Amino acid sequence: MEISYYPGCTLKTKAINFETSALALLEKLDVKAIELKDWNCCGVMFSQSQDNLMKQLAPIRTLIRAKESGRDRLLTLCSMCYNTLKRSALFIQENEDKRDKINDFMDLEETEYFGNEIEVVNILTLLDEIDKDKLKASIVKDAKDLKVATYYGCLLTRPKEVAIDNVEDPQIMENLLEAAGCKPVYFPFKTECCASFQVVSRKDIARERTRKIVDSARKNGAEMILLACPLCEYNLDKLQKELHEEDSTFETLPVLYVTQLLAILAGVDPEINDYSKHYIDPRPVLERKGLL
Amino acid sequence: MKKIGVFLCHCGINISATVDIEKAMEALKDYPGVAHIEDYKYMCSDPGQQLIKKKIKDLGLDGVVVCACSPTLHENTFRLTVKAAGMNEYKMEMANIREQCSWVHKDKTVATEKAIKIIKSVIEKARLDEALDPIEVDITRKAMVIGAGVAGIQTALNIANSGYEVILVEREPSIGGKMAQLSETFPTLDCSQCILTPKMVEVSNHPKIKLMTYSEVVDVSGFVGNFKVKVKRKATGLDWDVCNGCGLCTEKCPKKLPSEFDQGLGERKAIYRPFPQAVPNRVVIDFENCTYMQSGKCGICQKVCPVKAIDFDKEDKFVEEEVGAIICATGFETYSVKDIPEFGGGKLPDVVDGLTFERILSASGPTGGEVRRPSDGKVPKDIVFLECVCSRDPEHYLPYCSKVCCMYTVKHAMLYKHRVHDGQPYVFYMDMRTGGKGYEEFYQRAAEEDKVVFIRGKVSKLYQDDDKIVVCGVDTLSNETIEIRADMVVLATAIVPSKGIRELTKLLKIQIDQHGFLSEAHPKLRPVESLTAGVYLAGCAQSPRDIPDTVSQASGAASMVCTLFANEKLKHEPIIVGVNEDICSGCGICTVVCPYDARKTNLEKKLVEVNEVLCEGCGACAAACPSGAAQQNNYTDNQINAMIKAILGKGG
């Protein structure tokens, strides 16, 4: 299977582990992700302003590139990119006058975009579509019932129009990890917000969130937190380190992109992950399970 | 030319404030056919009606047009008026210049013009009206009540006590419904069992009531006064005529299962009686879970039965009953906690719904009335009650108010406090809706005497933390977020119609609303009737309601049935669609569009035949008929064309 792939900025820098592991995993599953040519920033956040159409240009231009690729589905790894692209597409689909205005403004583009030509697909949805037996067959390493906390954050399940699964109790990651031999734990904070960009101006809020989320995961027996969002990864990973430095009784949990673990279980060389990018080193847990 | 009398009603100022009556009379007085025109302030009042009667007699009118409100409101009133003056009642027509004109317009000039057009068109119709006679039908004076909760029980008793026979059908093994599960009832706190079980016994002893429990309606045909109903009597695995209800089999049966009656908290056996006070006092075998039925081994119940009633017969039996009226009282269910992921999706054992808490409170419940939580049997010291769970939440769940939750939650908190004196109940509410006799006082008592803490606000999430349920909510009066570490949480989940209602309403040919509740014929004036003649409604099947309202409505439905049965013969509206046999080719198109199965093709005669009693005069066939053979009485193509011409200004 072939699918267009939109990386987004973070995936080439801070979240490079997400990209390398996801692409390697997809290759094992016979999915060819073809990177878009000449892509630009997704716009970072879906603009809530109805009138400021300038903010819709970045995502719409990306969708135009996708349309020009000739493939009708566009894979995103970053949940922020997913959320922004999907909501922008929905926005112009539902607002014809605004759609026309945007297309008029971008009349130098050779292609017009109307809102429903491209299906924006998150990596979790794509993995969920793959037959579970096929997924199981591709798993070559025994996870030995590794206890994992699956963290969705908010962008994958909110607003409900673009949610990849049940808004309150998504199960996609759990199902994937169960098929791969892991044991997802009860984790009531899985859709709680990580505080997102508040980490810049109100770090206290972000820290408090991280503490709550990690405490809950550990209390329920998790050995590792798995997620699919670069910003959540940054907050939960980096802030744990800070919390631990301040208060040594705070116990940390390693944070990995779900694809990092799945890729290892599917037989991808564990060294494909750049462990220096992690603030909490996941290698001791992986080693304990014999996964390195 | 026929002499038509036109009578304009002011309806106080409802019509006259927007329609210039004088101008209209001036415009109509010389319209062809108008022999007399007159106005009056309240035409439906006695002087108004007398006026019409007098003119019919004095002038020898051939037809009457009353220009007033909707025929839904007063057509019958004025039909009786003209009939009393010796005119055929079907030669009276209503011109609706209120609902369709004065109420919906502001501009007097425009409204007056429109009223004139409406009246002209109705005059045209009246000129072509024929005298009609109601169709007379025989009547079977026996009623069937579907559903034997408190609504069905009350309806059945009222009808039976009026001297008519009743068949009471219930799909569960016992009658009693949800009310039998309740502990105590608001606002008097009398025990639900104490007030319901005597009624259940009365039903079972009543010579006029035939009880059919563990039975379901599978087919309905016929029409008002003459229904034929097929009932499936589900196999019980034993002979109920022989069984004496001793219950020895239920004691000895080795297979234990969660009890539905106790909301899964208690146990029952594979051969069981839902609860000790069940009526009839009989047992049934749960075939799916019976060891003998599954593997052929066991059969202990058969060995111990002292009267040899058990035969393991799995064959359902079908019976046909003829009845004159049907009452649909199929009750409610509550929205399943399993479908509410933010509140644990049914995976947290100490988060229960209101009905489960009723069983916990009930003296006959699994804890004998002691408040103990399901997970470990501990007495909860901090307990949180959530109202409006899935109700009043159009974005995610249901838009309507479930009506009883405010009151039963207050009752729950109060009863909890009466049993756990050192415990603290909290209630999260959106608005306290305590309309009803003694209800507001009851609520105040809970807050003041029983120290129930009421928090205005909603809860976003519940989760398990150690042995506590953490309640994350907000107090919208102080605008602060709140977290309560509770031992137990009770959800007042929305009331929804019981399963199977859609299938049943298809059989009964009655309507439901978008949520599956039964639709009444008129929300104010015909609240216990469906739009299908002879089918009545009672209880929560129509909309969420409490016990007093349910019992009142049930009695109302019973009284409507008795009114029907008091008729010597039934009179059916003659405004039906017949067949002009000279024109009909028997193509059968009309039989396909008829929603009442009133039309059948006779292949031998190559004609369509009409069962006049089944025809409700909707006119679908008349519109579909390609040749004009199907003409509706007093709504013929000629009449409708004349009306259209009049409205377009080409009449007269």
Establish if A2 touches chain B: CB-CB under 8 angstroms.
no
For residue B652, is pLDDT > 70? Answer: no
pLDDT at B506: 96
Q: Domain B136-234+316-331+499-570 - what CATH class?
A: alpha beta
DSSP A177: H
Q: Which residues face A74 on adjacent strands?
A: A4, A120
Which of A212, A195, A244, A75 is closest to B465 using CA atoms? A212
Record: fold of B235-315: Alpha-Beta Plaits (3.30.70)
Sign of CA dihedral B61, B66, B72, B74: negative
Mean residue pLDDT across chain A: 95
For residue B651, is pLDDT > 70? Answer: no
**Shared domain check, A272 and A141:** yes
What is the C-alpha separation between B391 and B394, in angstroms, rounded?
A: 8
pLDDT digits (tens, 9 = 90+) for A17-34: 999 999 999 999 999 999
First to last CA, chain B: 12
Establish if A169 touches chain B: CB-CB under 8 angstroms.
yes
Residue with tokens 């060294």: A271
Which of A166, A167, A188 is opposite residue B463, by nearest beta carbon?
A: A188
What is the C-alpha separation between B13 and B69, in angstroms, rounded?
A: 12
Which of B342, B347, B464 is opposite residue A168, by nearest beta carbon?
A: B342
Which of B561, B491, B436 is closest to B152 using CA atoms? B561
Q: Which residues contact A52 (CB under 8 A, 6 or more apart)?
A: none
**Shared domain check, A192 and A166:** yes
Do residues B646 and B119 touch, judged by C-beta distance below 8 A? no
pLDDT at B480: 96
Distance of CA A166 to the CA centre of its chain: 16
Which of A98, A72, A96, A76 is closest to A85 using CA atoms? A76
Percent of chain B with pLDDT over 70: 100
Query: The domain that contains A101 carries what CATH number?
Result: 1.20.1050.140
* Cβ-based contacts of B470 with chain A (< 8 Å): 188
For residue B182, is pLDDT > 80? Answer: yes
* Cβ-based contacts of B461 with chain A (< 8 Å): 188
Q: Averaged over B128-143, what is the pLDDT?
A: 94
Closest-CA residue in chain B for A166? Answer: B341
Give B618→chain A minimum CA distance, Å.
Answer: 40
pLDDT at A70: 95
Residues B362, B368, B373, B378: what is their CA dihedral angle, to the nearest 10 degrees?
150
For residue B435, is pLDDT > 90? Answer: yes
Same fold? B4-134, B235-315: no
For residue B571, is pLDDT > 90? Answer: no
Query: The domain that contains A136 carries what CATH number?
Result: 3.40.50.11810
What is the C-alpha separation between B63 and B49, in angstroms, rounded?
A: 15
What is the C-alpha separation between A189 and B575, in angstroms, rounded?
A: 65
* Cβ-based contacts of A166 with chain B (< 8 Å): 341
Residue A166 DSSP SS3: coil
**For helices A16-28 and A258-265, what crossing angle results, to 10°?**
40
ipTM of the complex: 0.90
A97, A123, A149 - which closes a domain: A123
Do residues A135 and A173 touch, judged by C-beta distance below 8 A? no
Question: Do the chains contact at B341 and A186, CB–CB below 8 Å?
Answer: no
Which of A167, A169, A186 is opposite residue B464, by nearest beta carbon?
A: A186
**Shared domain check, A166 and A43:** no
Domain interval for residue A19? 2-123
Residue B383 DSSP SS3: strand
Residue A113 DSSP SS3: coil
Residue B69 DSSP SS3: coil
pLDDT digits (tens, 9 = 90+) for B506-541: 999 999 999 999 999 999 889 999 999 899 999 999
For residue A48, is pLDDT > 80? Answer: no
Residue B200 DSSP SS3: helix
Give B341→chain A minimum CA distance, Å.
Answer: 6
What is the C-alpha separation between A79 and B156, in angstroms, rounded?
A: 60
pLDDT at A158: 92
Percent of chain B with pLDDT over 90: 95
* Cβ-based contacts of A190 with chain B (< 8 Å): none
* Cβ-based contacts of B345 with chain A (< 8 Å): 168-169
A92, A123, A154 - which closes a domain: A123
* Confidence at A50, pLDDT banded by 50, 70, 90: confident
A88, A123, A158 - which closes a domain: A123
Q: Which residues contact B554 (CB under 8 A, 6 or more apart)?
A: B150, B151, B152, B153, B154, B155, B158, B329, B538, B539
Numbered residues of chain B with Cβ closer than 8 Å to any chain A Cβ? 341-342, 345, 347, 461, 463-465, 470
- Cβ contacts from A onto B, under 8 A: 19
The reply to whether omega before B341 is within 30° of 0 (cis) is no
Q: Which contacts of B108-116 are long-range, i.e. CB under 8 A and separated by 24 or more positions?
A: B108/B18, B108/B19, B108/B20, B109/B20, B111/B18, B111/B19, B112/B19, B112/B20, B112/B23, B112/B24, B115/B15, B115/B19, B115/B24, B115/B67, B116/B24, B116/B27, B116/B28
**Shared domain check, A184 and A245:** yes
Closest-CA residue in chain B for A189? Answer: B463
Question: Do the chains contact at A186 and B345, CB–CB below 8 Å?
Answer: no
pLDDT at B267: 95
CATH code of B334-496, in short, is 3.50.50.60
Which of B341, B464, B470 is opposite residue A168, by nearest beta carbon?
A: B341
* Cβ-based contacts of B464 with chain A (< 8 Å): 186, 188
**Which of B338, B339, B340, B342 is the best mutation test for A, with the most CBs of A within 10 A?**
B342
Q: Would you state the structure tokens that stand for residue A3, as one six-digit string?
A: 């699918």
Q: Averaged over B432-438, what is the pLDDT?
A: 96
* Confidence at B596, pLDDT banded by 50, 70, 90: confident
* Cβ-based contacts of B394 with chain A (< 8 Å): none
For chain A, where are the E strands, in sequence order?
2-6, 32-35, 73-76, 119-122, 147-151, 183-184, 224-227, 255-257
**Shared domain check, A105 and A136:** no
Please state which of the ranges A43-47, A100-104, B164-168, B560-564 shows the lowest mean pLDDT.
A43-47
What residue spans define the domains of chain B?
4-134, 136-234+316-331+499-570, 235-315, 334-496
CA–CA distance from B625 to each of A255, A270, B149, B318, B632 (Å)? Answer: 72, 77, 45, 39, 11
Q: Torsions phi, psi of B642, nearest 5?
A: -65, -40
What is the C-alpha separation between A80 and A46, in angstroms, rounded?
A: 9
What is the C-alpha separation between B8 and A290, in angstroms, rounded?
A: 94
**Shared domain check, A278 and A135:** yes
For residue B286, is pLDDT > 70? Answer: yes
Q: Averaged over B144-167, what is the pLDDT?
A: 98
Record: fold of B4-134: Rossmann fold (3.40.50)
Give A216→chain B minimum CA distance, Å.
Answer: 8
Residues 208-247 on A with a CB inside 8 Å of B are: 216, 219
Give the count of domains, chain A. 2
